[in-house]
Amino acid sequence: MIQLLKMAFRNLGRNRRRSFFSALALAMGLALLLLLASFVEGEMGSVIDLTTRLESGHLQVRAKTYDENKTSLKWQDLLENPAQIAAQIASLEPVQVATPRLFASGIVSVGSETSGVRVIGIDPLSDANAPFRDGLLSGEFLTPEDREGILIGYPLAERMGLKAGDKLNLSVNTSNGDVDEQMFIVRGIYSTKTGGFDRITVFLPLAKAQAITQTDNHASTIFILLKDKALTEAVAAAIAGANYQVLTWEDMNELILQTEQMANGYIYILYLIVLAITASVIINTLVMAVFERTREIGILASLGMKGRQIMAMFLTESGLLAVGGIIMGLIIGVLVVAYFTRYGFYIGNMGVTGLLISDTIYTELTWQDTVNLTVLSFIITLLAGLYPAMMAARMDPVQALRGGR
Amino acid sequence: MEVARIENVTRIFKTGDVETQALRGVNLIIEKGEFTALVGPSGSGKTTLLQLIGCLDQPTSGRVFINGKDVSKLNRNQRADMRRGTIGFIFQFFALIPTLTAYENVEMPLLLNGKSSAERRQRVMSLLESVGLADRAHHRPDQLSGGEQQRVAIARALAPNPTLILADEPTANLDTANGQQIMETMTRLNLETGVTFVFATHDPRVIKFARRVVTLRDGMVVEDSAGVLVGEGG
Amino acid sequence: MRLYFRLAWRNIWRHTRRTVIIILAMGLGLALMMFYDGLIVGFDEAIYGNAIRVLGGNIQVHAQGYRLKASQTPLLPLPDDQAVVRAAQELPQVVAATRRINTGGLASSREGAFAVNITGIEPEKEAEVNIAAQNVVAGRYLSGDDGDVIFIGKGLADAMGVGVGDRITLTGRSRHEQMRKRTMTVIGIYDLKMPDLEKRTIYISLSEAQSLYDLNGQSTEVAIVLKQVGQEAEVIEALKPVLPGYEIDSFEANFPELQQAIQSKSGVMNIFSVVILMIAGIGILNLLLMAVYERTREIGILGALGLRPRQISLLFVLEGTMIGLVGVVMGIVLGLMINGILMRVGLDYSQFTGVTDYTALISGRIYPSWGVEKLLWRGLTVAIISALAALIPAHEASQNEPAQSLHYV
């Protein structure tokens, strides 16, 4: 075995440049795939992360009959005395924060211009609102007692030409199916760098939101963040009750998870195509090496080397080539990915509203992707080596010695 | 009229740390219309001398004149231009371009010299006819015998109307009959067209065709049947 | 030059197997790009094709100042909408020109509330060109003298749990900044198989909209339907001089984000494709390095025949480029095959329609085009990369001294 490796190594060294370029082809292929995988992972990871932080949390507690698609405000669809429920949940050890939220639909209007929005009533003091508080661009954050302040997103402010301190009209639906309109003052403008969310989401203090929607002491949901995402199921089981439903982030983000699965399926086809191209470059190199060494193979065969051993020799060569290419590819790939992990990949606003996608994607290379792609490249390179190796093994020694084909 | 003049030419090859002195001060004049053999054992410098005359190589010292022009200091492009049209080559192996037919091989130097298509067609066919291969014009080299290939090579060497044709062991890879035929063809063409032939050989059956025999040994001219040595006869 | 082409072309085929492998690699790379290009066009068509029908026209005419605020659908009345309609109807390409009022509002019932686009239409004039009018699944389409009735999509009806005859509260803003709230009866439901889009689009009659939003006798938009897609530019050009001071846009202007998304994705794809082609380029490089080595003596002969070093280089660059171009041909064949199949089968996209406003217009499947839209550029890229890959071997070949090469056996 050592002998075989030594021979293969020397053989590759005989035409160093050619071996280098073949390994480089593999390296470029692998690096490209690593970048691709880390991009998808980064995109999807950020979608899930963003959705969790901004919208779904790790867990939500809702009334049994609450239907998310309707944003109903009927009392029987809401949680009564939500602050108390939230406090109870927050007292559990794994829970980082639990806070009530109230959802309503509305339209913001200034002059004759209108824009549909989603109104969220929040407890301004809760830590769960950190993304909005930290993303404050101008003005101030809401306070619990604020009766006329509203927090709006940057894209909405820009579209409607609103600054902090400006007035706007907000119409929202109420618990009795009616619509109420009131004037608000833009208290602050926030940005989460997630156009799809910021454009349509406005915030009111919970008490004010309850007042305008006539929902009294009710909330649509308890938004819960955990200290550790892995404990989701355990906590869900702990707080399950007969009077309400408990939803995990997986329940709420089914679309995202499906999209991710689908994307992974498509991307695997892409991986295989890239590797097929890489493989053909390697096949060619080895086929040429076999031709070049026809005479030598004849000598080896006449010295009593079996076809299988000759095959093993060439396969070892492709194995070594694969190892070299993979090492190079990992270095290149990790460096390129590291750059984009640090500085991100600006994609701008693609008008995505169904998913929460940030305007910049930071690549994220997981161990799983790295190992998978490395193994995949190795296997495909070995498979590519099979054909030339078989060609070499099948050579007739007499013909081969003459240098014929 | 002088076709080639070699003055005090030396040529040293370096392979790693080893220096080989292929030519050690050669003087030689080739006149127009000569049919001259360079003879000597292998390693005597025949091929090196031919390559210097053919502008394929440059001397380490000394000078080479072709048609009165000093070619020893020319750069690679200038040498290529010099070869194209002025010098024809015939090699020991049958040096045809394998992807081109006999016709196309002979046509190639004409194309490189920018001859018109009518002119090319006429010249190629007359050349192939004169080497007796008109009927094999559209065969590829691998469909021709060794003798036929070498005759195509002669036709190709003649195609651009060169002043000088250099042949390096033209019959070495041929059997006696074919070798004989090649030498007869070359002799006939020398007489018909007046083009100068210089060939390197160590085959006595070939030497007998030569009208002048220059003998080389260890990189020096030791005998010249013309009896004229450069520097003595001027 | 013909000599060089002849030599290069025949050299390619001296070792068919090698060449074919590289050609396959190049072809695969190019086919992948054609697939992508085809998909983008299919994506575009799937969206735009429906967009025209859903938006009610290939071209929209608005009053000055509308464009900047388009996403807030301001109630900016056209100075003279009848003149716009007349001007449009004089053009031979125009099938219909209808007046509309567009505004944002809130549709609410006891069950919940949705932000919607309210569109006031001239029911009789749009009957033939409005896709919703042709896909009524319950109740009936609007008529001119309807009052207090509303025509909604199945998506919204399902979400709100309403049917024909049920009542919905419609809230909007009038021209004079007053809130207008009106409870209306659902008269009909249309189904475009695009639930996400249907949730956002509801129709009322123009006269109703005029009275609701204080636009007596006025409208905010004229929608123009053309005989076929692609005539937009010429019609816009023809209308511009007749209608100074109006904003005339083709349907594409309604989706600025779609263009950005496609551009941004194409940029990524371009980088990606260049890397893939470079990998295949390495194949050409290796192949030619081998060829230079194998043909050492032949290169010597060419030198002896008087080819300059440059000319010998050129021979190899040509050879590399030709391999690339044969790869292009292979790629085209592969690409046409793939796209040809997908054109018949289509790709399921129904899962993603909710992701963006514009994908909501995709009704289920995407059918790619042949993918030849950018073929010239793609082919050129292949040729350039192949030529560049050939540079190293070509340089090497030209460095051979003929005197030494000829010794080489």
Task: Answer whether B57 sits within 8 Å of C403, measured CB to CB.
Answer: yes
| Distance of residue C313 Cα from the nearest chain A Cα, in angstroms | 19
Q: Pick the residue with more confidence: A124 or A244?
A: A124
Task: Answer whether C301 sits within 8 Å of B97, measured CB to CB.
Answer: yes
Q: Which residues of C touch B76 (CB under 8 A)?
A: 308-309
| Distance of residue B29 Cα from the nearest chain C Cα, in angstroms | 22
Determine phi and psi for A180, rounding to 5 degrees: -120, 145
Q: pTM here? A: 0.79
**Residue B31 confidence (pLDDT):** 93
Which chains form contacts with chain C, at 3 or more CB pairs under 8 Å?
Answer: A, B
**Residue C409 confidence (pLDDT):** 44
Q: Which residues of C touch B82 (CB under 8 A)?
A: 306
Strands (E), C206-306: 221-226, 246-250
Which range, B186-195, C55-64, C65-74, is most confident? B186-195
The token pair that represents B117 in the structure block: 């298509």
Q: Say which of C14, C303, C306 has its CB closest to residue B99.
A: C14
**Residue C229 confidence (pLDDT):** 77
| Distance of residue B56 Cα from the nearest chain C Cα, in angstroms | 5
For residue range C345-366, list pLDDT tens digits in order.
888 776 666 666 666 666 667 7
Task: Answer whether B83 sits within 8 Å of C306, measured CB to CB.
Answer: yes
Q: Which residues of C touch A255 (CB under 8 A)?
A: 351, 354
- In A135-192, alpha helices (H): 154-160
Q: Which residues of C touch A333 (CB under 8 A)?
A: none
Shortest CA distance from C11: residue in chain B: B99
Selected residues 121-150 of chain A with any CB under 8 Å from a CB in chain C: none
pLDDT-based confidence at A403, cuts 50/70/90? low
Q: Return the DSSP state at A352.
A: B
Task: Answer whether C103 sits within 8 Å of A70, measured CB to CB.
Answer: no
**Residue A354 confidence (pLDDT):** 59
For residue range C196-218, list pLDDT tens digits in order.
778 888 999 999 999 888 888 89
| Distance of residue C303 Cα from the nearest chain B Cα, in angstroms | 7
Task: Please report where in the chains the tokens 């062991």 appear, as a residue.
Answer: B169
Task: Answer whether C261 sits within 8 Å of A280, measured CB to CB.
Answer: no
Q: Which residues pair with C169 in a beta bridge?
A: C108, C183
CA-CA distances (angstroms) from residue C357 to A51, C118, C195?
Answer: 18, 16, 12
Task: Answer whether C305 sits within 8 Å of B84, measured CB to CB.
Answer: yes
- Complex ipTM above 0.85? yes
| Residues with Cβ within 8 Å of residue C152, at least 6 apart in sequence | C107, C162, C168, C186, C188, C189, C190, C198, C202, C203
What's the rounded mean pLDDT across residues B174-199?
Answer: 91
Range from A322-336, B118-132, C5-19 carrying the lowest mean pLDDT? C5-19
Q: Pick the residue with more confidence: C260 or B150?
A: B150
| Residues with Cβ within 8 Å of residue C140, at least 6 apart in sequence | C187, C188
Q: Which of C406, C407, C408, C409 to mutate to test the interface with B (most CBs of B within 10 A)?
A: C406
- In A293-396, alpha helices (H): 294-302, 307-343, 367-393
Judged by 3 or more CB pairs under 8 A, whether A touches C is: yes
Q: Which residues of A touch C257 (CB under 8 A)?
A: 349-351
**Residue B232 confidence (pLDDT):** 38
pLDDT-based confidence at A355, cuts 50/70/90? low
Q: Does B231 have pLDDT greater than 60?
A: no
For residue range A294-338, list pLDDT tens digits in order.
888 888 888 878 888 888 888 998 999 999 999 999 999 999 999
Rounded to whole angstroms, how far apart are CA atoms A294 and A401? 7
Q: Which residues of C touch A27 (CB under 8 A)?
A: none
What's the rounded mean pLDDT across residues B79-86?
Answer: 88
The bridge status of strand C113-121 relative to strand A113-122 is unpaired
Task: Answer whether B99 sits within 8 Å of C2, measured CB to CB.
Answer: no
Q: Say which of A105, A181, A274 has its CB closest to residue C113.
A: A105
Q: Helix, strand or coil for residue C173?
A: strand
**Residue A262 confidence (pLDDT):** 77
Q: Does C108 have pLDDT greater than 60?
A: yes
CB–CB contacts below 8 A, B to C: 69
| Distance of residue C289 Cα from the nearest chain B Cα, in angstroms | 19
Selected residues 44-63 of chain C with any CB under 8 Å from a CB in chain B: none
Judged by 3 or more CB pairs under 8 A, whether A touches B is: no
Which chains form contacts with chain B, at 3 or more CB pairs under 8 Å?
Answer: C
Rounded to whole angstroms, how far apart are CA atoms C15 and A209? 78
A214 touches C: beta carbon within 8 Å: no
Rounded to whole angstroms, how far apart are CA atoms C127 and C141? 8
**Residue C221 confidence (pLDDT):** 92
A75 touches C: beta carbon within 8 Å: no
C16 touches B: beta carbon within 8 Å: no
B93 touches C: beta carbon within 8 Å: yes
B31 CB-side CA count, 13 A: 9
Task: Answer whether C25 sits within 8 Å of A258, measured CB to CB.
Answer: no
pLDDT-based confidence at C334, cuts 50/70/90? very high
Q: Say which of C106, C177, C278 has its CB closest to residue A112.
A: C177
DSSP for C94-132 reads EEEEEEEEEEEEEEE-SS-EEEEEEEEE-HHHHTTT-TT
Q: Which residues of A touch C73 (CB under 8 A)?
A: 113-114
Q: Say which of C307, C402, C409 has its CB closest to residue B56.
A: C402
pLDDT-based confidence at B230, cuts 50/70/90? very low
Q: Say which of B80, B85, B99 has its CB closest to residue C303.
A: B80
Q: Which of A243, A314, A251 is nearest to A282 (CA)?
A: A314
Which chains form contacts with chain A, at 3 or more CB pairs under 8 Å?
Answer: C
Q: Which of A361, A386, A283 is nearest to A40 (CA)?
A: A361
Q: Which residues pair with A223 in a beta bridge?
A: A60, A99
Q: Which residues of C touch A363 (CB under 8 A)?
A: none
What's the rounded mean pLDDT across residues A270-280?
Answer: 90
Q: What is the dihedral of CA A336, A338, A339, A344, to 10 degrees?
A: 120
What's the rounded mean pLDDT across residues A265-278?
Answer: 87
Q: Which residues of B touch C3 (CB under 8 A)?
A: 108, 111-112
Q: State which amino acid sits at residue A228.
A: D
B109 touches C: beta carbon within 8 Å: yes
A360 burial type by CB count under 10 A (0-12 exposed, 13-18 middle, 19+ buried): middle
Task: Answer whether C403 sits within 8 Å of B51, measured CB to CB.
Answer: yes
Task: Answer whether B85 sits within 8 Å of C11, measured CB to CB.
Answer: no
A304 burial type by CB count under 10 A (0-12 exposed, 13-18 middle, 19+ buried): exposed
The distance of Cα A245 from the centroid of its chain, to the nearest Å, equals: 28
What's the rounded mean pLDDT across residues A69-94?
Answer: 86
